[in-house]
A = this chain, B = another copy of it.
Amino acid sequence: MAHVHRISIALSCAAVLVVLSASGGFAASTEGLSPSVATVAERLRTEALAGTESYDVVRSLTFEVGPRSAGSAGDARAVAWATEKLKALGFKNVHTEPVEVPHWERGRNAGMILSPWPQPVVLTALGGSTASPAGGIEAEVVGVATLDDLKKLDPAQAKGKIVFVSNHMERKSDGSGYGAAVAVRGVGASEAAKRGAVGLLIRSVGTDSNRLPHTGAMRIIEGEPTVPAAALSAPDSDLLEAELASGKPVRFRLELETKRFPNAQSANVIGEIPGLDAGTAKEEFILLGAHLDSWDLGTGAIDDGAGCGIVIETARRIGQLPPAERPKRTIRVVLFANEEFGLSGGRAYAQAHEAELPRHFASAEADFGAGHVVRIKTRIAPSALPEFAKIAEIAKPLGVAFSDVNNSGGGADISTLASANVPVISFDQDGTEYFDLHHSANDTIDKIDPKDLDQVVAAWTGVIYAVAAGALELRPAPALTERE
Protein backbone atom coordinates (compact mmCIF):
# COMPACT_ATOMS: atom_id res chain seq x y z
CA MET A 1 0.00 0.00 0.00
CA ALA A 2 2.84 2.36 0.78
CA HIS A 3 4.20 1.82 -2.69
CA VAL A 4 0.92 2.70 -4.35
CA HIS A 5 0.66 5.76 -2.17
CA ARG A 6 4.03 7.04 -3.32
CA ILE A 7 3.27 6.49 -6.96
CA SER A 8 0.01 8.36 -6.68
CA ILE A 9 1.81 11.36 -5.24
CA ALA A 10 4.34 11.35 -8.04
CA LEU A 11 1.56 11.15 -10.60
CA SER A 12 -0.38 13.96 -8.99
CA CYS A 13 2.74 16.15 -9.11
CA ALA A 14 3.10 15.42 -12.78
CA ALA A 15 -0.57 16.20 -13.30
CA VAL A 16 -0.25 19.57 -11.58
CA LEU A 17 2.71 20.40 -13.79
CA VAL A 18 0.78 19.68 -16.96
CA VAL A 19 -2.17 21.79 -15.84
CA LEU A 20 -0.06 24.80 -14.94
CA SER A 21 2.01 24.65 -18.09
CA ALA A 22 -1.08 24.49 -20.22
CA SER A 23 -2.72 27.44 -18.52
CA GLY A 24 0.39 29.56 -18.79
CA GLY A 25 -0.02 30.37 -15.12
CA PHE A 26 3.51 29.45 -14.28
CA ALA A 27 5.55 32.05 -16.12
CA ALA A 28 3.75 34.84 -14.30
CA SER A 29 4.74 33.53 -10.91
CA THR A 30 8.51 33.68 -11.51
CA GLU A 31 8.49 37.05 -13.24
CA GLY A 32 10.97 38.51 -10.74
CA LEU A 33 13.65 36.14 -11.99
CA SER A 34 15.76 36.90 -15.01
CA PRO A 35 13.85 35.34 -17.92
CA SER A 36 16.83 33.34 -19.10
CA VAL A 37 17.56 31.91 -15.65
CA ALA A 38 13.89 31.08 -15.11
CA THR A 39 13.66 29.33 -18.45
CA VAL A 40 16.64 27.09 -17.77
CA ALA A 41 15.52 26.40 -14.19
CA GLU A 42 12.06 25.37 -15.37
CA ARG A 43 13.52 23.15 -18.04
CA LEU A 44 15.82 21.47 -15.53
CA ARG A 45 12.84 20.83 -13.27
CA THR A 46 10.68 19.44 -16.07
CA GLU A 47 13.40 17.20 -17.42
CA ALA A 48 14.27 15.81 -13.99
CA LEU A 49 10.66 14.99 -13.25
CA ALA A 50 10.64 12.87 -16.38
CA GLY A 51 13.41 10.69 -14.98
CA THR A 52 16.81 10.99 -13.34
CA GLU A 53 19.74 8.77 -12.47
CA SER A 54 19.49 9.46 -8.74
CA TYR A 55 18.04 6.02 -8.01
CA ASP A 56 20.92 4.38 -9.88
CA VAL A 57 23.39 6.18 -7.64
CA VAL A 58 21.62 4.89 -4.52
CA ARG A 59 21.41 1.42 -5.99
CA SER A 60 25.11 1.40 -6.77
CA LEU A 61 26.06 2.64 -3.29
CA THR A 62 23.78 0.26 -1.39
CA PHE A 63 24.50 -2.83 -3.49
CA GLU A 64 28.20 -2.31 -4.19
CA VAL A 65 29.14 -0.92 -0.78
CA GLY A 66 26.25 -1.54 1.61
CA PRO A 67 26.67 -0.82 5.34
CA ARG A 68 29.36 1.81 5.98
CA SER A 69 29.53 2.89 9.58
CA ALA A 70 32.38 5.14 10.61
CA GLY A 71 35.73 3.43 10.69
CA SER A 72 34.49 0.13 9.26
CA ALA A 73 35.75 -1.63 6.15
CA GLY A 74 32.53 -0.48 4.47
CA ASP A 75 33.38 3.13 5.29
CA ALA A 76 36.69 2.83 3.44
CA ARG A 77 34.94 1.16 0.50
CA ALA A 78 32.36 3.95 0.45
CA VAL A 79 35.06 6.62 0.19
CA ALA A 80 36.64 4.75 -2.73
CA TRP A 81 33.21 4.24 -4.34
CA ALA A 82 32.30 7.94 -4.02
CA THR A 83 35.61 9.09 -5.47
CA GLU A 84 35.21 6.80 -8.46
CA LYS A 85 31.55 7.64 -8.91
CA LEU A 86 32.08 11.42 -8.92
CA LYS A 87 34.89 11.07 -11.43
CA ALA A 88 32.84 8.76 -13.63
CA LEU A 89 29.95 11.23 -13.60
CA GLY A 90 32.15 14.06 -14.82
CA PHE A 91 32.76 16.00 -11.61
CA LYS A 92 35.90 18.15 -11.41
CA ASN A 93 38.37 18.60 -8.55
CA VAL A 94 37.31 15.26 -7.13
CA HIS A 95 39.28 14.64 -3.97
CA THR A 96 39.07 13.43 -0.40
CA GLU A 97 39.77 15.41 2.75
CA PRO A 98 40.86 13.49 5.84
CA VAL A 99 38.46 13.06 8.76
CA GLU A 100 39.31 11.26 11.98
CA VAL A 101 36.32 9.18 13.06
CA PRO A 102 35.41 7.03 16.05
CA HIS A 103 35.27 3.31 15.34
CA TRP A 104 32.70 1.23 17.18
CA GLU A 105 31.41 -2.17 16.17
CA ARG A 106 28.14 -3.78 17.23
CA GLY A 107 29.16 -7.43 17.48
CA ARG A 108 26.55 -9.91 18.68
CA ASN A 109 23.58 -8.44 20.56
CA ALA A 110 20.99 -10.62 22.30
CA GLY A 111 18.25 -10.29 24.86
CA MET A 112 15.96 -12.64 26.72
CA ILE A 113 13.14 -12.14 29.16
CA LEU A 114 13.80 -14.88 31.72
CA SER A 115 10.69 -14.53 33.85
CA PRO A 116 7.77 -14.50 34.43
CA TRP A 117 7.26 -15.64 30.82
CA PRO A 118 10.48 -16.65 29.05
CA GLN A 119 10.72 -14.92 25.67
CA PRO A 120 13.69 -14.22 23.42
CA VAL A 121 13.52 -10.59 22.31
CA VAL A 122 14.94 -8.71 19.36
CA LEU A 123 17.15 -5.77 20.31
CA THR A 124 20.20 -3.91 19.12
CA ALA A 125 22.88 -1.94 20.93
CA LEU A 126 22.68 1.83 20.87
CA GLY A 127 25.57 3.26 18.90
CA GLY A 128 28.54 3.60 21.21
CA SER A 129 27.17 1.40 23.97
CA THR A 130 29.66 -0.32 26.20
CA ALA A 131 29.67 -4.11 26.15
CA SER A 132 27.98 -6.21 28.78
CA PRO A 133 30.25 -8.44 30.89
CA ALA A 134 30.88 -11.84 29.29
CA GLY A 135 27.75 -13.97 29.58
CA GLY A 136 25.61 -10.86 29.80
CA ILE A 137 23.85 -8.92 32.51
CA GLU A 138 21.04 -10.66 34.35
CA ALA A 139 18.89 -8.30 36.37
CA GLU A 140 15.36 -7.32 37.24
CA VAL A 141 13.73 -4.74 35.00
CA VAL A 142 12.24 -1.51 36.28
CA GLY A 143 9.93 0.15 33.78
CA VAL A 144 9.35 3.87 33.32
CA ALA A 145 7.25 5.58 30.67
CA THR A 146 9.51 8.49 29.71
CA LEU A 147 12.94 10.04 30.10
CA ASP A 148 11.44 12.48 32.59
CA ASP A 149 10.26 9.55 34.68
CA LEU A 150 13.76 8.08 34.51
CA LYS A 151 15.19 11.36 35.71
CA LYS A 152 12.79 11.26 38.66
CA LEU A 153 13.48 7.60 39.46
CA ASP A 154 14.54 6.97 43.04
CA PRO A 155 18.02 5.37 42.99
CA ALA A 156 16.69 2.80 45.47
CA GLN A 157 14.33 1.65 42.70
CA ALA A 158 17.02 1.60 40.03
CA LYS A 159 20.01 0.14 41.85
CA GLY A 160 21.22 -3.11 40.30
CA LYS A 161 18.38 -3.13 37.79
CA ILE A 162 17.91 -2.71 34.07
CA VAL A 163 15.85 0.40 33.37
CA PHE A 164 13.31 0.13 30.55
CA VAL A 165 11.85 3.30 28.98
CA SER A 166 8.72 2.42 26.99
CA ASN A 167 7.96 5.81 25.40
CA HIS A 168 6.46 5.60 21.86
CA MET A 169 7.51 7.91 19.03
CA GLU A 170 4.67 9.73 17.27
CA ARG A 171 4.29 9.46 13.47
CA LYS A 172 4.20 12.88 11.75
CA SER A 173 4.78 13.80 8.13
CA ASP A 174 7.52 16.28 9.02
CA GLY A 175 9.28 13.84 11.36
CA SER A 176 8.77 16.16 14.29
CA GLY A 177 7.96 13.23 16.58
CA TYR A 178 11.66 12.36 16.50
CA GLY A 179 12.96 15.21 18.62
CA ALA A 180 10.74 14.33 21.57
CA ALA A 181 11.42 10.61 21.35
CA VAL A 182 15.15 10.57 20.69
CA ALA A 183 16.37 12.31 23.83
CA VAL A 184 16.32 9.11 25.85
CA ARG A 185 18.59 7.43 23.31
CA GLY A 186 21.20 10.11 23.90
CA VAL A 187 21.21 10.45 27.67
CA GLY A 188 19.24 7.45 28.95
CA ALA A 189 22.29 5.32 29.68
CA SER A 190 24.04 7.99 31.72
CA GLU A 191 20.83 8.86 33.58
CA ALA A 192 20.34 5.16 34.38
CA ALA A 193 23.98 4.79 35.44
CA LYS A 194 23.75 7.81 37.75
CA ARG A 195 20.96 6.02 39.60
CA GLY A 196 22.92 2.79 40.03
CA ALA A 197 21.21 0.82 37.24
CA VAL A 198 23.22 -1.83 35.38
CA GLY A 199 21.62 -1.53 31.95
CA LEU A 200 19.22 0.48 29.78
CA LEU A 201 16.54 -0.73 27.40
CA ILE A 202 14.44 1.63 25.32
CA ARG A 203 11.63 1.16 22.86
CA SER A 204 13.14 1.80 19.42
CA VAL A 205 12.92 5.40 18.31
CA GLY A 206 10.84 4.57 15.24
CA THR A 207 7.28 4.47 13.95
CA ASP A 208 6.98 0.97 12.48
CA SER A 209 5.79 -2.24 14.05
CA ASN A 210 8.37 -4.57 12.56
CA ARG A 211 10.52 -6.93 14.57
CA LEU A 212 13.51 -4.79 13.63
CA PRO A 213 15.10 -2.52 16.23
CA HIS A 214 16.46 0.94 15.46
CA THR A 215 19.95 1.89 16.53
CA GLY A 216 21.41 5.42 16.71
CA ALA A 217 24.09 7.26 18.58
CA MET A 218 24.04 7.60 22.35
CA ARG A 219 25.99 10.31 24.10
CA ILE A 220 29.34 9.14 25.38
CA ILE A 221 31.17 11.47 27.76
CA GLU A 222 34.64 10.41 28.74
CA GLY A 223 34.77 9.71 32.47
CA GLU A 224 30.99 9.84 33.01
CA PRO A 225 29.26 6.67 34.17
CA THR A 226 27.30 4.72 31.59
CA VAL A 227 25.70 1.29 31.21
CA PRO A 228 25.17 -1.12 28.31
CA ALA A 229 22.18 0.18 26.38
CA ALA A 230 19.95 -1.32 23.71
CA ALA A 231 16.77 -0.63 21.77
CA LEU A 232 14.00 -3.22 21.54
CA SER A 233 11.88 -3.49 18.40
CA ALA A 234 8.32 -2.19 18.84
CA PRO A 235 6.70 -5.65 19.23
CA ASP A 236 9.40 -6.65 21.72
CA SER A 237 8.84 -3.47 23.66
CA ASP A 238 5.12 -4.36 23.77
CA LEU A 239 6.10 -7.77 25.10
CA LEU A 240 8.25 -6.36 27.88
CA GLU A 241 5.52 -3.89 28.79
CA ALA A 242 3.04 -6.77 29.05
CA GLU A 243 5.38 -8.77 31.29
CA LEU A 244 5.85 -5.76 33.56
CA ALA A 245 2.08 -5.24 33.61
CA SER A 246 1.68 -8.74 35.00
CA GLY A 247 2.90 -7.32 38.31
CA LYS A 248 5.41 -10.13 38.72
CA PRO A 249 9.16 -9.44 38.88
CA VAL A 250 10.61 -9.38 35.36
CA ARG A 251 14.14 -10.71 34.95
CA PHE A 252 16.12 -9.98 31.81
CA ARG A 253 19.43 -11.08 30.30
CA LEU A 254 21.21 -8.55 28.11
CA GLU A 255 24.27 -9.51 26.07
CA LEU A 256 26.03 -6.81 24.07
CA GLU A 257 29.35 -7.82 22.58
CA THR A 258 30.14 -4.31 21.38
CA LYS A 259 33.70 -3.11 20.79
CA ARG A 260 35.27 0.32 20.75
CA PHE A 261 38.41 0.55 18.62
CA PRO A 262 40.95 3.36 18.32
CA ASN A 263 39.85 6.26 16.13
CA ALA A 264 40.12 5.56 12.43
CA GLN A 265 40.80 7.56 9.31
CA SER A 266 37.92 8.33 6.98
CA ALA A 267 37.32 11.17 4.54
CA ASN A 268 34.90 13.71 3.17
CA VAL A 269 34.58 13.13 -0.56
CA ILE A 270 34.27 16.30 -2.62
CA GLY A 271 33.58 16.98 -6.28
CA GLU A 272 32.67 20.12 -8.14
CA ILE A 273 30.74 21.40 -11.12
CA PRO A 274 32.83 24.52 -11.76
CA GLY A 275 30.93 27.75 -12.38
CA LEU A 276 31.91 30.42 -14.91
CA ASP A 277 33.82 32.20 -12.15
CA ALA A 278 35.78 29.09 -11.18
CA GLY A 279 39.50 29.70 -10.71
CA THR A 280 39.04 33.45 -10.23
CA ALA A 281 38.99 35.47 -7.03
CA LYS A 282 35.25 35.93 -7.59
CA GLU A 283 34.51 32.20 -7.34
CA GLU A 284 31.63 31.39 -5.00
CA PHE A 285 30.34 28.01 -3.92
CA ILE A 286 26.96 26.44 -3.47
CA LEU A 287 27.57 23.53 -1.14
CA LEU A 288 25.28 20.53 -1.69
CA GLY A 289 25.80 18.05 1.13
CA ALA A 290 24.75 14.55 2.14
CA HIS A 291 26.51 12.03 4.33
CA LEU A 292 28.28 9.02 2.99
CA ASP A 293 28.34 6.95 6.18
CA SER A 294 25.40 4.85 7.35
CA TRP A 295 24.52 2.72 10.31
CA ASP A 296 25.57 -0.89 10.06
CA LEU A 297 22.18 -2.65 10.25
CA GLY A 298 20.80 -1.71 6.84
CA THR A 299 22.44 -0.74 3.58
CA GLY A 300 21.86 2.98 4.16
CA ALA A 301 19.45 3.57 1.29
CA ILE A 302 17.29 6.25 2.87
CA ASP A 303 19.91 7.34 5.41
CA ASP A 304 21.66 8.67 3.53
CA GLY A 305 22.14 6.94 0.19
CA ALA A 306 19.11 8.88 -1.05
CA GLY A 307 20.74 12.15 -0.04
CA CYS A 308 23.92 11.20 -1.89
CA GLY A 309 21.83 10.35 -4.96
CA ILE A 310 19.94 13.66 -4.75
CA VAL A 311 22.95 15.96 -4.45
CA ILE A 312 25.12 14.08 -6.93
CA GLU A 313 22.37 13.99 -9.54
CA THR A 314 21.39 17.62 -8.99
CA ALA A 315 24.95 18.79 -9.58
CA ARG A 316 25.50 16.40 -12.48
CA ARG A 317 22.44 17.69 -14.33
CA ILE A 318 23.48 21.32 -13.86
CA GLY A 319 26.94 20.31 -15.06
CA GLN A 320 25.49 19.02 -18.32
CA LEU A 321 24.06 22.38 -19.34
CA PRO A 322 25.50 23.89 -22.50
CA PRO A 323 28.25 26.53 -21.88
CA ALA A 324 25.90 29.46 -22.54
CA GLU A 325 23.65 28.35 -19.69
CA ARG A 326 26.27 27.49 -17.10
CA PRO A 327 25.84 29.30 -13.76
CA LYS A 328 28.57 31.61 -12.57
CA ARG A 329 28.85 29.90 -9.19
CA THR A 330 30.51 26.54 -8.56
CA ILE A 331 28.36 23.68 -7.28
CA ARG A 332 30.38 21.79 -4.70
CA VAL A 333 29.10 18.38 -3.64
CA VAL A 334 30.37 17.25 -0.25
CA LEU A 335 29.72 13.68 0.85
CA PHE A 336 30.43 13.93 4.55
CA ALA A 337 32.13 11.26 6.65
CA ASN A 338 30.54 10.07 9.87
CA GLU A 339 27.41 12.10 10.33
CA GLU A 340 25.86 9.37 12.45
CA PHE A 341 28.31 9.08 15.27
CA GLY A 342 29.43 12.61 16.03
CA LEU A 343 29.35 14.80 12.92
CA SER A 344 33.08 14.35 12.35
CA GLY A 345 32.83 15.12 8.64
CA GLY A 346 30.81 18.30 9.03
CA ARG A 347 33.15 19.61 11.69
CA ALA A 348 36.27 18.73 9.69
CA TYR A 349 34.89 20.47 6.63
CA ALA A 350 34.04 23.65 8.53
CA GLN A 351 37.52 23.70 10.04
CA ALA A 352 39.43 22.91 6.84
CA HIS A 353 37.46 25.47 4.83
CA GLU A 354 37.17 28.17 7.47
CA ALA A 355 38.93 30.81 5.42
CA GLU A 356 36.77 29.99 2.41
CA LEU A 357 33.39 30.06 4.17
CA PRO A 358 32.69 33.71 3.28
CA ARG A 359 32.71 32.56 -0.34
CA HIS A 360 30.08 29.89 0.44
CA PHE A 361 27.12 31.55 -1.20
CA ALA A 362 24.59 28.98 0.00
CA SER A 363 24.33 25.46 1.34
CA ALA A 364 21.75 22.69 1.15
CA GLU A 365 21.74 19.21 2.65
CA ALA A 366 19.73 16.10 1.75
CA ASP A 367 19.42 13.85 4.77
CA PHE A 368 15.78 12.97 5.24
CA GLY A 369 15.22 9.98 3.04
CA ALA A 370 13.58 9.54 -0.32
CA GLY A 371 10.13 11.05 0.14
CA HIS A 372 8.91 13.80 -2.19
CA VAL A 373 9.65 17.44 -1.39
CA VAL A 374 6.73 19.24 0.24
CA ARG A 375 8.22 22.57 1.27
CA ILE A 376 11.20 24.84 0.76
CA LYS A 377 12.56 26.72 3.72
CA THR A 378 15.55 29.01 4.11
CA ARG A 379 17.90 30.81 6.40
CA ILE A 380 19.05 33.73 4.25
CA ALA A 381 19.38 37.50 4.55
CA PRO A 382 15.85 38.60 5.50
CA SER A 383 15.92 41.29 2.82
CA ALA A 384 16.29 38.56 0.17
CA LEU A 385 13.15 36.67 1.20
CA PRO A 386 10.64 38.34 -1.17
CA GLU A 387 12.86 37.70 -4.19
CA PHE A 388 13.72 34.17 -2.99
CA ALA A 389 10.02 33.39 -2.83
CA LYS A 390 10.01 33.88 -6.61
CA ILE A 391 12.84 31.37 -6.99
CA ALA A 392 10.90 28.91 -4.84
CA GLU A 393 8.00 29.26 -7.28
CA ILE A 394 10.05 27.16 -9.68
CA ALA A 395 9.19 24.13 -7.53
CA LYS A 396 5.55 25.02 -7.00
CA PRO A 397 4.24 22.91 -9.91
CA LEU A 398 5.80 19.92 -8.13
CA GLY A 399 3.47 20.48 -5.18
CA VAL A 400 6.19 22.26 -3.19
CA ALA A 401 5.22 25.12 -0.88
CA PHE A 402 7.49 27.92 0.35
CA SER A 403 7.75 28.80 4.01
CA ASP A 404 9.34 32.13 4.88
CA VAL A 405 9.99 31.41 8.57
CA ASN A 406 13.68 31.70 7.60
CA ASN A 407 15.15 29.75 10.52
CA SER A 408 16.16 26.50 8.84
CA GLY A 409 19.06 24.56 10.30
CA GLY A 410 19.41 22.82 6.97
CA GLY A 411 20.80 19.52 8.19
CA ALA A 412 23.28 18.21 10.70
CA ASP A 413 26.41 18.37 8.55
CA ILE A 414 25.92 21.90 7.28
CA SER A 415 24.87 23.11 10.71
CA THR A 416 28.62 23.28 11.31
CA LEU A 417 28.74 26.21 8.88
CA ALA A 418 26.31 28.24 10.98
CA SER A 419 29.06 30.18 12.71
CA ALA A 420 30.00 31.73 9.36
CA ASN A 421 26.37 32.58 8.60
CA VAL A 422 26.38 30.60 5.37
CA PRO A 423 22.88 30.82 3.89
CA VAL A 424 20.77 27.67 3.96
CA ILE A 425 18.16 26.34 1.56
CA SER A 426 16.14 23.37 2.81
CA PHE A 427 14.04 21.06 0.70
CA ASP A 428 11.76 19.49 3.31
CA GLN A 429 10.70 16.02 2.28
CA ASP A 430 7.67 14.02 3.30
CA GLY A 431 8.84 11.96 6.24
CA THR A 432 5.68 10.02 7.05
CA GLU A 433 7.42 6.68 6.56
CA TYR A 434 11.02 7.75 7.17
CA PHE A 435 11.13 6.63 10.80
CA ASP A 436 9.70 3.24 9.89
CA LEU A 437 13.08 2.48 8.32
CA HIS A 438 15.64 4.90 9.77
CA HIS A 439 18.62 3.26 11.54
CA SER A 440 17.13 -0.22 11.13
CA ALA A 441 17.98 -3.25 8.99
CA ASN A 442 14.99 -2.26 6.84
CA ASP A 443 16.87 0.73 5.42
CA THR A 444 17.28 -0.86 1.98
CA ILE A 445 16.74 0.34 -1.58
CA ASP A 446 13.48 -1.53 -2.17
CA LYS A 447 11.82 1.06 0.09
CA ILE A 448 12.56 3.86 -2.40
CA ASP A 449 10.26 4.83 -5.23
CA PRO A 450 12.43 6.22 -8.06
CA LYS A 451 9.61 8.60 -9.02
CA ASP A 452 9.85 10.29 -5.63
CA LEU A 453 13.58 10.79 -6.05
CA ASP A 454 12.96 12.28 -9.49
CA GLN A 455 10.55 14.81 -7.96
CA VAL A 456 13.15 15.71 -5.34
CA VAL A 457 15.85 16.21 -7.94
CA ALA A 458 13.41 18.26 -10.04
CA ALA A 459 12.92 20.64 -7.10
CA TRP A 460 16.64 20.80 -6.31
CA THR A 461 17.87 21.31 -9.87
CA GLY A 462 15.43 24.12 -10.63
CA VAL A 463 15.99 26.05 -7.42
CA ILE A 464 19.72 25.43 -7.01
CA TYR A 465 20.32 26.46 -10.61
CA ALA A 466 18.41 29.70 -10.12
CA VAL A 467 20.45 30.46 -6.99
CA ALA A 468 23.73 29.57 -8.67
CA ALA A 469 23.03 31.55 -11.84
CA GLY A 470 20.95 34.41 -10.46
CA ALA A 471 21.73 37.87 -9.14
CA LEU A 472 20.03 37.62 -5.76
CA GLU A 473 22.43 38.00 -2.81
CA LEU A 474 21.48 35.64 0.04
CA ARG A 475 24.18 36.61 2.55
CA PRO A 476 24.48 37.04 5.42
CA ALA A 477 22.13 34.50 6.94
CA PRO A 478 20.78 35.34 10.39
CA ALA A 479 22.07 33.34 13.34
CA LEU A 480 20.55 29.89 13.81
CA THR A 481 17.82 30.14 16.44
CA GLU A 482 16.85 27.34 18.73
CA ARG A 483 13.53 26.93 17.01
CA GLU A 484 14.99 24.49 14.51
Residues of A within 8 A of B (CB): 1-2, 5, 59, 63-67, 73-74, 77, 117-120, 122, 209-212, 234-235, 238-239, 242-243, 298-299, 440-442, 444-447
The reply to whether B442 and A210 form a contact with Cβ atoms under 8 Å apart is: yes
> Is B66 touching A209 in the complex (CB atoms < 8 A)?
no
Could you say which residues of chain B place their CB within 8 Å of the CB of A242?
A: 59, 63
Q: List 21 A-B contacts (CB under 8 A).
A: A1-B2, A63-B117, A63-B242, A63-B243, A66-B117, A66-B120, A77-B118, A119-B299, A209-B446, A209-B447, A210-B210, A210-B442, A211-B298, A211-B442, A211-B444, A212-B212, A234-B446, A235-B442, A235-B445, A238-B445, A238-B446
Copies of this chain: 2
Shortest distance from the beta carbon of A205 to any chain B beta carbon, whole Å:
17
List 9 other contacts, CB 8 Å, given A1-B5, A73-B118, A211-B444. A64-B117, A66-B239, A209-B446, A211-B212, A211-B440, A211-B442, A212-B212, A238-B444, A238-B446
State A426–B300 Cα separation when bound (angstroms). Answer: 45
A4 to nearest B CB, angstroms? 9
Complex Cα gap A209–B5 (Å): 16
**B212 close to A120 (CB less than 8 A):** no
- B residues near A441, Cβ cutoff 8 Å: 122, 211
CB proximity of A250 to chain B, nearest CB, Å:
12
- A150 vs chain B, min Cβ distance (A): 24
Question: What separation, in Å, do the CA atoms of A230 and B239 have in the docked complex?
Answer: 28
CA distance A59 to B245 in the complex (A): 13
| Chain B proximity of A403: nearest CB distance (Å) | 27
Q: Which residues of B contact A63 (CB under 8 A)?
A: 117, 119, 239, 242-243
